[in-house]
Structure 1
Amino acid sequence: MLIPTTPVLGRCFPDIAALGNIPKDFENVPGLSDSVNDTVALIKNGTGGIINSFNAKDIATRIFADFASSWPWIILGLVIAMLVSLLFLLLLRFTAPVMVWVLIFGVLAAGAYGIWHCAWEYQNYKQNSATITTIGFTTNFQSYLEVQETWLAFLIILCIVEGILLLTLIFLRTRILIVKQNKKSSTGLTPISYMMSALLYPVVTFVLLLVCVAYWGATALYLATSGSPTYKVVALNSTMSGCSGIDGTENCDPLNFTSSDYPDCTSASCIFINYNSTDPFRKNLQYLQIYNAVAFLWCVNFVIALGQCTLAGAFASYYWAFEKPSDIPMFPLFGGFIRSLRYHLGSLAFGALILTLVQIMRIILEYIDQKTKGSQNSCARFIMCCLKCCLWCLEKFIKFINRNAYIMIAIYGKNFCVSAKNAFQLLMRNVIRVVVLDKVTDLLLFFGKLMVVGGVGVLSFFFFSGRIKLPGSGFRSENLNYYWMPIITVVLGSYLIAHGFFSVYNMCVDTLFLCFLEDLERNDGSAERPYFMSKGLMKILNKSNKIQKKQKAQD
């Protein structure tokens, strides 16, 4: 009886596509099931995974070939993303005030259009006799949009939201002006122009994170392969006569093993089975892996904290320079990095540890949820969902507190607990300003990332799909097996680049804002305690220094 086969790397494997044409007498083969379907299933289980793995290897080879032929253009796309991100930050110096008002009035205009549209739809369906009560519950949501009550509810909700936004704009106009001026002084050439190296610091953070990943992976690999290996004597061809006595339970040493010790079974070999799991070290190995994973999370959070404290120290040195730029210290970014390493390692490690503990709690909760998902009732699922939501909010809150605590550490050099308390109290005394600044910053960064990633992604799509051809270029999109792989690579790389640049901008805004709040509370504009804020902020707040310049003090 011949089984249909297909060649794979010079070897014959059963052809899964032809298994449906197996003749009926195949079921009489001794040792196989009586059912043809069972026989087909057995062969599929034995060969399907192998053939799929070879197919995956072929796909991986094709993808690697695409990267090999398109890598210069991928790098060009990433360079374009870097230039666009830098250009966006530089333009924010001149467009930030305009963009703030455009965003505000854009939201108001969108709400006004929504009110008009809902009123128009309400008038159109006013003659319709159908109501939500007559429709009842249905999965066809389109039917709800054909009822006047739905549009009336939308109209009322949008009117309430629009009214709240208008009242907020009226009563918080001064704080919005402060945010606008704060962004004007924290973007573009001021203060990043005095420390352009700050834009490259995300590369340092990325390298340190790679070191953490490499150390974690190497440690996990060493732990997984630790212990004494176990080798067994196995008959590679058990159908040979004389091999029936080899059952795979006899230990062996591969260095001293010779097949001549088993003359009746020439296919006998000494094969690695696993690592010895009976010794105490191997039994408790999972605890070492858990310890390694916790250390990895701690190191990652510490590296991020180090970057935040370094940037905060650099930007704080700019704000607290009374005469700009003459009072700005030399190499402010390097100075912030050295101060963080010399004085603040313990505080940064403690803050990273608190965040790590919260993340471990979330991981444990996710593990419990996965293990008990099949046996949970609706009440248990609700409680689990609430717990996960609470821990998610707690992690966001800890990140917010840590970020501002690191800024206070960079400014005053106090320990983590004191800095976190002072930062939290300072922010709570100015909670409305904090909310306005945070939301405006999020919107600006969102549109910035959307512009960078979307623009570069669309450009890479037209190029790698062959819709744009560069004259004189030897690159041909027809030679790519999967043209979407370079596109995905460029899009992901563009997002990481934009996130790195904008994270520096975001840290600059947060640092200068916290410095501004401290300046406003601690100083009064006198000669002994002059304001360090910009003239634009002092004008908005009706503040002024009695002596603006050091030369005037000498006069």
Structure 2
Amino acid sequence: MPRSNKRKFEQEKATEEKLLGDHKKDPSEVIKTKSRFQMEEKESKDESDGVFETDGEHGTPLTYDPTFNGPIKKRSCTDIICCLIFIIFIGGFAGVSYLAFANGDPYLLLYPVDSNGELCGYGNNKGKDYLFFFDLVQCGRMGVGIFVSGCPTPQVCVASCPDTNYAYITDAATSADLQFCKSGYDTTLSRTALVERDQCPAYFLKSSPRKFVINRCVPEVLVNFLEDGGSLLTNIQADVGNKNITDSNSNDISIESLAQNLDIFGIFLKAKEYAEKIVADIVATWWMMLVILILSMIVSLTWITIMRFIAGIMVWITIFAFLGLFAFSTYWCFWTYVNLDGDEEFSIHIVSIVLHWSKPDMFLAFGIISAVILLIFLIILLFLCQRIRIAVSLIKEGSRAIGKMMFTLIFPIFPFALQLGVVAYWLSVATFLASTGRKQDFSVNENNTDYWNQTANDWNYLKIVADTSSLFGETCNENTNTTSDFCTFLKNAEENFVIYGQVFSLFMFFWLMNFVVAVGQMTLAGAFASYYWAFEKPRDIPTFPLAAAIWRCFRYHLGSLAFGSLILAIVAMIRVLLEYVDAKLKGTENAVGKFLLKCLKCCFWCLEKCLKFLTKNAYIMVAIHGKNFCSSAKDAFMLIMRNIVRVAVVDKVTDFIMLLGKLVIVGATAAGAYFFFSGGIEFLKDYTPTLNFYVVPIVIVTIVSYVVASCFFSVYSMAVDTLFLCFLEDLERNDGTTEKPFYMSKDLMNILGKKNQVMADKKKKGSHGENF
């Protein structure tokens, strides 16, 4: 006999024995009672949307367990191997961080490098602290891309910037001009040959190493223009108008072209000026922004508190407003179509394609689209009305749960602070690593210096003693102009270490960020599950549910958290790799490759979204049942698939209400900030500061208020998701009888047409006890 049929037979037998033993009725009465019981059970199955179906495709529904009443107490550590791997990787990250902090210097990133990648002021360029550009016109032609990809002209480090204007065609060559040529230029060649071979500049302008561009030689004519105003073209004509300026290919460079291309540097200098003003505005208004953000936190808390009372009103008003909007749109479009003359034409520009429609045709098209959307929405509303009611009831119950455990609203501050710490630490490591790659001085002190070196067959960590020349033929120090194989190897090894270190640190950044998110989700899930499975609330709720959830999370399930976050980190790294490949293919004409790459990017984006949803529900199951990650993910997936319609509706309705709440809070905060900083509030005008750009604090307040609202509503969202999975388990485990009462709220039982027999028994005895 199949297992499902056997279990059904045993249940029927137990029911019959119970009827015979409890009621002591005659067989005919037992048969009637049994038939009534079976019909009620069938109706219960129909009302619960088939959650008791046992086709085997989506697993076997859960059965009643008399020992289960919420998050289990007796647990064991889960996914220990993944926990150990996580600890090992953290140790590796600590090693990379140590090497970065020990050998890197972020200050070096502020200094320029020449065309050979050597840092100005160090190594071969010691004493040459300033960067000089051969052809500024080539820089200007790059546009704003110069600040991303750099200038495509030769660049050399020099001891001082030019103090005069020079053009090799009209000016005689002097030894002073040769200091701006590349080091090691061929002294046997003529000046024209040196220019044509890009060993010396064809021209240069009087410049100075301005501090705000960090040791780059900036033409004085540009600086004067920015400081004094006027016309850049006029200034250049007055300063260098008598020079015959050409490039290295002897092509004439007009004064107009020079002025136009020099203006790109003005963008940078103006941006710096604006940045300084923005910083000044932030410094002047930081405490005012803090007060507004505290007010936004209070509004968020208030919104969550009253959500339990207005959630249903908000949802239904929005639904009927949506229906009314599209009904009116459909009517108006068709009415306009009927009453318009068909001779008029209307042009719509879509992606540079011009579609010439008559006005009636346009309104007919929009009317059809509006009618289709209205019809689809009506069908969804008619068939999923009960499920929308379930979503609203769960949202209200989430508000009650948060009200009983107010510390859950404060808890997200700690994961958020940890996330900020992870971001700050990763940025520090990445910065120090990048500066390590720029350090070109392989200095050797009197005692020893440690280097990574490769022997004939394997990697070894060698300690090079004072006289490296006895081992490798010559030392590698900042005064050495020659490049031996050993010195070249040291440079390449250092560059490879930087690349691999950056990739590894980025992977650890994704892993740690997802791990911190997982800790927050599992902790909140454990607390809210304790609330749901308390039969009489608040009496049966554990004393410190949040603290107990944190203890279970760190004591037993760090491995499961590391496992789930590792999966998301791997997918994130694959997406970064695809973005890198996409950037490399931008200049190619391979349309097939670009199309496949776009498809892969879309697929992995969808995969990441699905995995985030699955891992979130897996963490909820781990918090409740204490199983490992894979088993919990499977149980969560099967439970969701057995109730897929409910899950889809509840998830979307919840997301909609969360979005609505965020928009209300962010909009109110932004509006308040606008009226205050623009001086629109009369009784606060005395406190309104005088700012360069009053939009700056408004934008900052808007962004940060969205982050604050997201933190609060993430708790709300987690509460609903946890209560929903508990609700689905409750439907499968219990049937409302005295032995197996439901734990769900009375609202949910009324929506499903269910009730607890234990409640009826208590009412007969005069008791007013309720399970909610």
1:329-368 → structure 2 map (5 Å cutoff): 329-368=542-581
Alignment partner of 2:382 out of 163, 170, 181: 170
Is residue 161 of structure 1 aligned with residue 373 of structure 2? yes
| Counterpart residue type for residue 220 of structure 2 | P
How far, CA to CA, are the matches of 1:66 and 1:112 in structure 2? 48
* 1:232 to partner: Cα distance: 10
| Counterpart residue type for residue 650 of structure 2 | L
| Counterpart residue type for residue 92 of structure 1 | M
Deviations along 1:34-85, one digit per CA (max 9) or x if unpaired, are 845389749976x974x66554443333222211211121111111211111
Identity over aligned pairs, percent: 41
Q: 1:72 to 1:137 in 2, by over 3 A?
A: closer
| Counterpart residue type for residue 287 of structure 2 | P
Deviations along 1:424-452, one digit per CA (max 9) or x if unpaired, are 11111111111111121122112111111
How far, CA to CA, are the matches of 2:513 and 2:348 in structure 1? 54
> Max radius of gyration: which structure?
2
Q: 1:472 to 1:14 in 2, by over 3 A?
A: closer
Alignment partner of 1:289 out of 502, 507, 525: 502
Alignment partner of 1:466 out of 661, 672, 679: 679
Q: 1:428 to 1:227 in 2, by over 3 A?
A: closer
Alignment partner of 2:413 out of 203, 211, 214: 203
Is residue 299 of structure 1 aligned with residue 497 of structure 2? no
Answer whether contact 2:736 2:754 (CA < 8 A) is retained. Answer: yes
How far, CA to CA, are the matches of 1:403 and 1:30 in structure 2? 61
Is residue 448 of structure 1 aligned with residue 661 of structure 2? yes
Is residue 484 of structure 1 aligned with residue 695 of structure 2? yes
Partner of residue 342, structure 2? 128
Deviations along 1:348-385, one digit per CA (max 9) or x if unpaired, are 11111111111111111111111012213433332222
Partner of residue 491, structure 2? 278
1:144-543 → structure 2 map (5 Å cutoff): 144=357, 146-187=358-399, 190-226=400-436, 229-231=439-441, 277-278=490-491, 280-471=493-684, 473-476=686-689, 479-543=690-754
Deviations along 1:364-423, one digit per CA (max 9) or x if unpaired, are 111111101221343333222222111111111101101111111111111111111111
Alignment partner of 1:15 out of 221, 226, 250: 221
Deviations along 1:313-360, one digit per CA (max 9) or x if unpaired, are 111110000110011112211211111111111111111111111111
Answer whether contact 2:348 2:354 (CA < 8 A) is retained. Answer: no
Q: 1:323 to 1:483 in 2, by over 3 A?
A: same
How far, CA to CA, are the matches of 1:324 and 1:105 in structure 2? 35
* 1:114 to partner: Cα distance: 1.6
My pick for the range that moved more, 387-396 or 155-164, is 155-164
| Counterpart residue type for residue 159 of structure 1 | A
Partner of residue 265, structure 1? none
Q: 1:388 to 1:137 in 2, by over 3 A?
A: closer
Answer whether contact 1:4 1:19 (CA < 8 A) is retained. Answer: no
1:86-165 → structure 2 map (5 Å cutoff): 86-125=301-340, 127-129=341-343, 139=352, 143-144=356-357, 146-165=358-377
DSSP 3-state at the match of 1:433: helix
Answer whether contact 2:523 2:549 (CA < 8 A) is retained. Answer: yes
| Counterpart residue type for residue 197 of structure 1 | F
My pick for the range that moved more, 94-103 or 25-34, is 25-34
Q: 1:402 to 1:4 in 2, by over 3 A?
A: same
My pick for the range that moved more, 134-143 or 534-543, is 134-143
Q: 1:88 to 1:370 in 2, by over 3 A?
A: same
Q: 1:150 to 1:185 in 2, by over 3 A?
A: same
How far, CA to CA, are the matches of 1:540 and 1:485 in structure 2? 49
Partner of residue 260, structure 1? none
How far, CA to CA, are the matches of 2:432 and 2:718 in structure 1? 38
Q: 1:510 to 1:21 in 2, by over 3 A?
A: same
How far, CA to CA, are the matches of 2:348 and 2:551 in structure 1? 68
Answer whether contact 2:677 2:688 (CA < 8 A) is retained. Answer: no
How far, CA to CA, are the matches of 1:481 and 1:278 in structure 2? 47
* 1:461 to partner: Cα distance: 1.3
Answer whether contact 1:27 1:39 (CA < 8 A) is retained. Answer: no
How far, CA to CA, are the matches of 1:182 and 1:489 in structure 2? 34
- The runs of 5 or more residues in structure 2 that have no matched partner are 1-163, 166-204, 223-231, 444-474, 481-486, 768-772
DSSP 3-state at the match of 1:375: coil
How far, CA to CA, are the matches of 1:298 and 1:527 in structure 2? 47
| Counterpart residue type for residue 199 of structure 1 | L
| Counterpart residue type for residue 545 of structure 1 | N
How far, CA to CA, are the matches of 1:493 and 1:166 in structure 2? 38
| Counterpart residue type for residue 388 of structure 2 | I
* 1:32 to partner: Cα distance: 12
Q: 1:286 to 1:30 in 2, by over 3 A?
A: closer
Partner of residue 26, structure 1? 243
My pick for the range that moved more, 349-358 or 64-73, is 64-73
Deviations along 1:265-298, one digit per CA (max 9) or x if unpaired, are xxxxxxxxx9985363543431122111101100
How far, CA to CA, are the matches of 1:90 and 1:275 in structure 2? 66
How far, CA to CA, are the matches of 2:247 and 2:508 in structure 1? 56
Answer whether contact 2:398 2:720 (CA < 8 A) is retained. Answer: yes
My pick for the range that moved more, 522-531 or 223-232, is 223-232
Q: 1:321 to 1:148 in 2, by over 3 A?
A: same
1:15-94 → structure 2 map (5 Å cutoff): 15-16=221-222, 17=232, 18-22=235-239, 24-27=241-244, 35=252, 37=254, 41=258, 49=265, 54-94=269-309
| Counterpart residue type for residue 238 of structure 2 | N
How far, CA to CA, are the matches of 1:470 and 1:137 in structure 2? 48
Answer whether contact 1:228 1:276 (CA < 8 A) is retained. Answer: no
Q: Which has the higher helix share?
A: 1
CA-atom RMSD, angstroms? Answer: 3.7
Q: 1:482 to 1:511 in 2, by over 3 A?
A: same
DSSP 3-state at the match of 1:26: coil
Answer whether contact 2:388 2:653 (CA < 8 A) is retained. Answer: no
| Counterpart residue type for residue 200 of structure 1 | I
How far, CA to CA, are the matches of 1:100 and 1:297 in structure 2? 36
Answer whether contact 2:221 2:236 (CA < 8 A) is retained. Answer: yes
How far, CA to CA, are the matches of 1:81 and 1:275 in structure 2? 58
How far, CA to CA, are the matches of 1:423 and 1:382 in structure 2? 35
| Counterpart residue type for residue 696 of structure 2 | M
Answer whether contact 1:277 1:283 (CA < 8 A) is retained. Answer: no
My pick for the range that moved more, 217-226 or 544-553, is 544-553
How far, CA to CA, are the matches of 2:652 and 2:426 in structure 1? 36
| Counterpart residue type for residue 709 of structure 2 | A
The number of equivalent residue pairs is: 512
* 1:121 to partner: Cα distance: 2.1
| Counterpart residue type for residue 312 of structure 2 | P
My pick for the range that moved more, 22-31 or 77-86, is 22-31
| Counterpart residue type for residue 561 of structure 2 | L
DSSP 3-state at the match of 1:373: coil
How far, CA to CA, are the matches of 1:441 and 1:345 in structure 2? 29
Q: 1:493 to 1:160 in 2, by over 3 A?
A: same
